[in-house]
Structure formats: C-alpha cells, structure tokens
Amino acid sequence: MALDKVIFLDRDGVINRDSPDYIKRWEEFEFLPGSLEALRLLTEAGFHLILITNQSIINRGMVPLEELARTHRRLRQAVAAAGGHIFDIFFCPHRPDEDCACRKPSPGLILQARAQYGIDLGRTIMIGDSGRDIHCGRNAGCGAVILVRTGYKTDVAQRLAAEGVRPDAVEDDLLAAARRILSGPPLPAHRS
C-alpha cells in the first residue's frame, strides 16, 4: 500500500533558522517560532512529514556524516517531544559543482522517497523557503508547492515571479502554511 497524505519539507529556513555559514551541529540548530507547533498539527492531522534537504556540508568536508546523523536524531527527538513526527529524512550530501541528481532543485530526493514508499506525487505538498525548493517540488510533480518567508533571503517570491514560477501559496512561516493546509482554501494536492 502506498503512503498517503505526504508533505515534503525543506529543513533550514523552514523548520529552523538558516545561516549562510551552514548549520554544522545540533548546538547551532534553532527552531523557528511556531515550527514545532506546525509539525505537531500536521502530524495530528495524519500527514507523513518527510524532510528533503541539501546538506553539502558533508562533501565540503565541514561535517562528518555522524554529526549530521546526530543533528537529525536530536531534531526528530525534539519534534516527537512536541507531539510531532518526522516520518523520514532524505538529504543530498553533494556540493553544487558535483552535478548530482539529488541536489535541489533537481527532484532526486523526492523521487527516492516516491520509490521507497510508493507515493503518488500529484497528491503531495512541498514546503520550502527558497527557489530551489519550489523548483524541486515542481520538477518532481508535487501537487502543490508552498513558499514560506522564513529563509534568510527575502526576495524569493519576486525572483520566482520574474522566472514565471508561482507557488500555490506564499505564507509567513511554517505554522501559517500548516494552518492553510488544514483549514484554508484547498491546495491543488487536496482538491476533490
């Protein structure tokens, strides 16, 4: 049986504060206001939450794989303690110059999740804070993409509009996106 009610989420800039210097260890990880509540609300509504994150810190030699695993373990524990659940995490370790198929905006990580869990991508939602995330969701065929304004780059919506790319919704943060999904006008992925 295929996994239903799936939301793909970027990590840095959506769940936690992003940094141009990268998040290299758990001690640098800071949840954005409302993000834990958003993850709890989406979990309680029956959504499977899957993180889709570029983590070039691995192949840049800045952080060993074990440290990233530790950060993700602590992230999952903190989310669980707040009543949410991260179903799975897919990450790309590659640098931009490695030209891989898994680094966003390429859809490789979402396609891996689809293959592993039998996900109907047309019924999924992708939430991200960057153009890479929005393009990734579109490239993968997600039913809806939501841009949140919590990343450190503030002109993402304008740059996407200049490219002719429009997210299905633009929200202030993950909590607003969660509330939109749960009670707002239906997004394409959840229309009957």
Number of Cα atoms under 13 Å in the Cβ half of residue 142 = 32
Task: Measure the CA–CA gap between 152 and 94, rounded to whole angstroms.
Answer: 21
List all residues 6 or more positions away from 132 whose beta carbon is below 8 Å from its beta carbon: 54, 104, 105
CA-to-CA dists, residue 111 to 103, 119, 141, angstroms? 12, 9, 10
Q: Which of 4, 10, 129, 172 is catalytic?
A: 10
Task: Measure the CA–CA gap between 113 and 27, rounded to whole angstroms.
Answer: 28
Cis status, amide bond into 105, omega within 30 of 0: yes
Task: Measure the CA–CA gap between 61 and 125, rounded to whole angstroms.
Answer: 32
Is 88 designated active site?
no
Is 120 designated active site?
no
Place of tokens 């070039």: 56
**In the chain, which ranges are E strands?**
6-9, 48-54, 86-92, 125-128, 144-148, 169-171
Q: Annotated active-site positions, please?
A: 10, 12
